[in-house]
Amino acid sequence: MQLTFVLSLFVFLLAPFAEAETAPAQMRALLMTGYGASDVLRVERVAVPTPASGEVRIRIHAASVNPIDWKIRSGKLQRNYSVDLPYIPGRDVAGTVDAIGAGVTRWKVGDAVFAVTSGGGLAEYVIAPADNIAAKPAKLSFEEAAGIPTASLAAWRTLITNGDIKRGQRVLIHGGAGGVGSTAVQLAHWRGAHVIATASERNHDYLKSIGADEVIDYRTTRFEDVVKDVDVVLDNVGGDTLQRSPAVLKEGGTLLTIVGMPPAQACSERKLRCPTPSTATKQKPGEELAQLGQLFDSGALQMSVEKVFPLEQAAQALDLSETGRARGKIVVRVLD
């Protein structure tokens, strides 16, 4: 009996991975061959990757772009975040499970999913750890689901996991109209907070439509002239905006940022809670994505897609992200 169990386990772990019958040997992908402007990117044919143990291959329907993609391309992050060239940018994908590595039982070929990866998403196929995947929200298109992972995980981990936003708190969100900010505004509203968000004037109606109670045009108004004694600040902008933020918090308030280190002296002088930005989490990314997916399915969260590019124009999607002006998410459609 025990021998049968051990043999079955052995066969299960060593069994060749399961895959869809139609997987080709090659795929189209946006390939980065050096660092610099968008001319280091071009769509080429490369080998379709094979999932290792604990991994899943996804046939990508849509992917979304994040600032980290153009920051990697530009070479700005080379000191702290190196990638092997040639590199395929893109961390966020939605599609169907196409092949399963050994030991993966949670997913099967054909499942509609969305996932966060460490790169490779601007292509027809990508490999993701099985733990980084969640079922696609049924009410969202693949393009909308692809917009969720990196930005919404940042909003979730910062505001909910680290910030533990509560009903009745006053929250100031810098950069409310971006990929992270638009989910953050909705999460704070969903938790019952009073939401104040900054954006240029053209995004004010949008911000009110997703739950902002007050909006500030950062181009014409210094936020510290019109806001004071908030419980929480979430900074998605950094630099001078982050440095000026402690002044608007009540003593003992919370300063959250995803783009720099909180100013230590001001945090200590004003007795603020300033958790160090961290992506560390006790939950698996797939579990967090599943929670976010439920909120999108329930209608508590909505996905706003600024523009959809075909894969052939994916380099332009990174250029649009680099302008810093996108509302919500920028998406690349891979499968028509």
Ligand X SMILES: NC(=O)c1ccc[n+]([C@@H]2O[C@H](COP(=O)([O-])OP(=O)(O)OC[C@H]3O[C@@H](n4cnc5c(N)ncnc54)[C@H](OP(=O)(O)O)[C@@H]3O)[C@@H](O)[C@H]2O)c1
Q: Which is nearer to ligand X, 200 or 243 (CB)?
A: 200
Judged by CB under 6 A, does residue 174 bind ligand X?
A: yes
Member of 171, 180, 233, 274 binding ligand X (CB under 6 A) = 180
Which residues within the stretch 307-336 sit at the binding site for ligand X (CB under 6 A)? 321, 324-327
Which residues within the stretch 13-42 sit at the binding site for ligand X (CB under 6 A)? none
Residue listed under structure tokens 């938790």 = 191
Amino acid code (one letter) for 331: V
Judged by CB under 6 A, does residue 178 bind ligand X?
A: yes
**Structure tokens given for 22:** 């139609």
Nearest approach in angstroms of CB 25 to ligand X is 34
Judged by CB under 6 A, does residue 286 bind ligand X?
A: no
Member of 109, 135, 159, 177 binding ligand X (CB under 6 A) = 177
SS3 labels along 214-264: EEEECCCCCHHHHCCCEEEEEECCCCHHHHHHHHHEEEEEEEEECCCCCCH
Q: Which is nearer to ligand X, 127 or 215 (CB)?
A: 215
Nearest approach in angstroms of CB 207 to ligand X is 9
Query: Beta-carbon neighbour count of residue 297 at 10 Å?
Result: 15
**What whole-number distance in Å separates Cα of residue 117 and Cα of residue 127?**
8
Q: Is 329 exposed, middle or buried (0-12, 13-18, 19+ CB in 10 A)?
A: buried
Q: Which is nearer to ligand X, 231 or 306 (CB)?
A: 306
Q: Which stretch binds ligand X (CB under 6 A): 8-16, 29-37, 96-104, 196-204?
A: 196-204
Q: Which stretch binds ligand X (CB under 6 A): 8-16, 77-85, 178-186, 307-315?
A: 178-186
Closest residue by Cα to residue 180 from 143, 150, 140, 206: 150
Q: Is 8 exposed, middle or buried (0-12, 13-18, 19+ CB in 10 A)?
A: exposed
SS3 labels along 163-185: CCCCCCCEEEEECCCCHHHHHHH
Residue listed under structure tokens 């100013």 = 263
Nearest approach in angstroms of CB 241 to ligand X is 6
**Residue with nearest beta carbon to ligand X:** 178
DSSP codes of every residue in 122-157: SBSEEEEEGGGEEEPPTTS-HHHHHTSHHHHHHHII
Nearest approach in angstroms of CB 152 to ligand X is 9
Judged by CB under 6 A, does residue 276 bind ligand X?
A: no
**What whole-number distance in Å separates Cα of residue 329 and Cα of residue 285?**
20
Residue listed under structure tokens 């066969």 = 11
Member of 259, 266, 300, 308 binding ligand X (CB under 6 A) = 259
Q: Cα-atom radius of gyration of the chain, to the nearest Å? A: 21
Judged by CB under 6 A, does residue 206 bind ligand X?
A: no
Judged by CB under 6 A, does residue 86 bind ligand X?
A: no
Q: Which is nearer to ligand X, 61 or 327 (CB)?
A: 327
Q: Which is nearer to ligand X, 150 or 186 (CB)?
A: 150
Site of interaction with ligand X (CB under 6 A): 66-68, 150-151, 154, 174-175, 177-181, 198-200, 203, 218, 236-237, 241, 258-259, 277, 279, 321, 324-327
